[in-house]
């Protein structure tokens, strides 16, 4: 199979590249300098006449605060960018695999969201990702839309900068006498290695459609931090932050757990529990 990978140097993209290459797939690595998804001519130039079977789009404008400050640009990249990819994938007869997010939901369900639940995003980022999903499902002939959550990987997230949550906690444990973390936001931490494995497995099928793809189980950010310190035997003074101690500048779902319902229905779910995947990331037994 020949794949084109948009965002090949991103947090997720770098592990997707490794996974597909390890299977001897030919992968055309595309960086932001090679393609601007919001510009259809750029997408066309990057993808046409290259015999590509699969386009994997990990690109996004996903710094939530920046999306809120510039909704037009966010829509151009997350909405129109997805539309451009869907149009060009049809023209070159390629499958489109597109990454989306748990932030399409508002969190009020308080039970794991399945693919049949109606999106109700709270912020610009979530709204523009929903628009990207809608463009793809209404235009692309062959697509996978894959929603994931709480992404962490060895390559830092380029849009957010700095360290991922795991590495940040380990750093703070050295730098600070006390660490305070919220206990009222529930998510599923998902490692890029695991997501890449699942994307690869899905790409070997023609079971096109919408998928939730996160690790199994869920936790609060505080429980996530606690597990990081337990697994690494790190002695630290970890405490639950008071409600509103870290006020959010932009509304985010307080509960964004996704159930991999469609993967399970198709017997394709290969995710481990989130704490097992964390052990692998930390390389501890
Ligand atoms: N991180 C999370 O917690 C999380 C959670 C749920 C879903 N997601 C989704 O997962 C996907 C991957 O996230 P990630 O953490 O791997 O992101 P990342 O590290 O920021 O990587 C994104 C990649 O896309 C490129 N890119 C950005 N804008 C582009 C554009 N307009 N045209 C072409 N390329 C562009 C970036 O290049 P430059 O950096 O050079 O611009 C970078 O290579 C995104 O779709 C995101 O919405 C992420």
Atom of ligand 1 nearest to the CA of 81: 31
Residue 59 C-alpha to ligand 1 middle, in angstroms? 4
- Segment 87-104 shows an average pLDDT of 98
**Amino acid 252: pLDDT:** 94
Is the CB of 192 within 6 Å of ligand 1? no
Q: Does 248 have pLDDT greater than 90?
A: no
The interaxial angle of helices 165-175 and 274-282, nearest 10 deg, is: 60
Pocket probe for ligand 1: among 5, 7, 213, the residue whose CB has the most ligand atoms within 8 Å is 7
Share of the chain above pLDDT 70, in %: 100
Cα distance between residue 18 and residue 81, in whole Å: 24
**Amino acid 228: pLDDT:** 97
- Segment 218-227 shows an average pLDDT of 97
Q: Does 10 have pLDDT greater than 90?
A: yes
Check the CA dihedral 92-46-14-153 and report its sign. negative
pLDDT band at 56 (very low <50, low <70, confident <90, very high): very high
Is the CB of 7 within 6 Å of ligand 1? yes
**Amino acid 25: pLDDT:** 92
**Spans of all domains in the chain:** 2-154+188-218+256-273
pLDDT band at 254 (very low <50, low <70, confident <90, very high): very high
- Segment 262-283 shows an average pLDDT of 96
User: Residue 74 in 3-state DSSP?
Assistant: helix
Q: Does 272 have pLDDT greater than 90?
A: yes
What are the pLDDT digits (tens) for 119-131?
999 999 999 999 9
- Segment 51-80 shows an average pLDDT of 97
CB 167 within 8 A of CB 121: no
> Per the confidence metrics, is the pTM higher than 0.85?
yes
Residues classed as catalytic: 125
Is the CB of 90 within 6 Å of ligand 1? no
- Segment 7-23 shows an average pLDDT of 96
Atom of ligand 1 nearest to the CA of 57: 45
Q: Whose CA is nearest to atom 1 of ligand 1?
A: 151
Q: Which two tokens stand for residue 220?
A: 């609060």
Is the CB of 212 within 6 Å of ligand 1? no
Residue 23 C-alpha to ligand 1 middle, in angstroms? 23
Is the CB of 101 within 6 Å of ligand 1? yes
For 136-220, strand residue ranges (E) read 143-148, 151-152, 179-181, 186-187, 190-191, 209-212, 219-220
**Amino acid 244: pLDDT:** 85
The interaxial angle of helices 40-47 and 81-92, nearest 10 deg, is: 40
**Amino acid 247: pLDDT:** 85
**Amino acid 162: pLDDT:** 80
Lowest mean pLDDT among 68-77, 111-120, 276-285: 276-285
Residue 40 C-alpha to ligand 1 middle, in angstroms? 18
Secondary-structure class of domain 2-154+188-218+256-273 per CATH = alpha beta
CB 116 within 8 A of CB 55: no
Residue 129 C-alpha to ligand 1 middle, in angstroms? 12
Q: Does 161 have pLDDT greater than 80?
A: no
Is the CB of 13 within 6 Å of ligand 1? yes
- Residues forming beta bridges with residue 148, ordered by sequence position: 101
Q: Does 192 have pLDDT greater than 80?
A: yes
The interaxial angle of helices 192-203 and 11-22, nearest 10 deg, is: 50
DSSP 234-275: ----EEEPPTTSS--SS---SB--B--HHHHHTT---PPBHH
Residue 285 C-alpha to ligand 1 middle, in angstroms? 31
Is the CB of 190 within 6 Å of ligand 1? no
Give me the chain's average pLDDT, please: 96
- Segment 219-225 shows an average pLDDT of 97
- Segment 211-225 shows an average pLDDT of 97
HSE value, Cβ hemisphere, 13 Å, CA-based, for 198: 30
Is the CB of 62 within 6 Å of ligand 1? yes
Residue 117 C-alpha to ligand 1 middle, in angstroms? 25
């Amino acid at each position: 199979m020949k794949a084109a990978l948009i965002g090949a140097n991103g947090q997720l993209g770098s592990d997707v590249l490794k996974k597909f290459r390890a299977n001897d797939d030919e992968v055309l690595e595309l960086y932001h300098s090679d393609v601007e998804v919001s510009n259809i001519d750029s997408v066309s130039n990057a993808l046409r006449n290259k015999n590509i079977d699969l386009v994997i789009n990990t690109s996004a404008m996903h710094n939530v605060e920046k999306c809120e400050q510039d909704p037009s640009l966010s829509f151009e990249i997350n909405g129109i960018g997805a539309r451009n990819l869907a149009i060009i994938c049809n023209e070159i007869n390629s499958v489109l695999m597109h990454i989306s997010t748990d932030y399409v939901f508002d969190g009020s369900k308080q039970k794991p969201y399945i693919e049949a639940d109606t999106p109700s995003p709270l912020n610009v980022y979530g709204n523009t990702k929903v628009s990207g999903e809608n463009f793809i499902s209404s235009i692309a002939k062959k697509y996978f839309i894959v929603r994931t959550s709480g992404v962490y990987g060895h390559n830092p997230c380029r849009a957010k900068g700095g360290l991922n949550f795991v590495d940040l906690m380990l750093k703070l444990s050295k730098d600070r006498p006390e660490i305070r973390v919220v206990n009222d936001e529930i998510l599923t931490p998902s490692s890029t290695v695991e997501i890449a494995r699942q994307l690869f497995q899905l790409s070997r099928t023609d079971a096109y459609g919408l998928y939730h793809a996160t690790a199994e189980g869920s936790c609060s950010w505080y429980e996530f931090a606690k597990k990081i310190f337990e697994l690494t035997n790190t002695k630290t003074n970890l405490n639950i932050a008071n409600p509103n101690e870290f006020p959010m500048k932009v509304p985010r779902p307080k509960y964004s757990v996704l159930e991999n319902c469609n993967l399970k229905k198709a017997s394709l779910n290969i995710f481990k529990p989130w704490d097992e995947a964390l052990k692998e990331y930390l390389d501890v037994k």
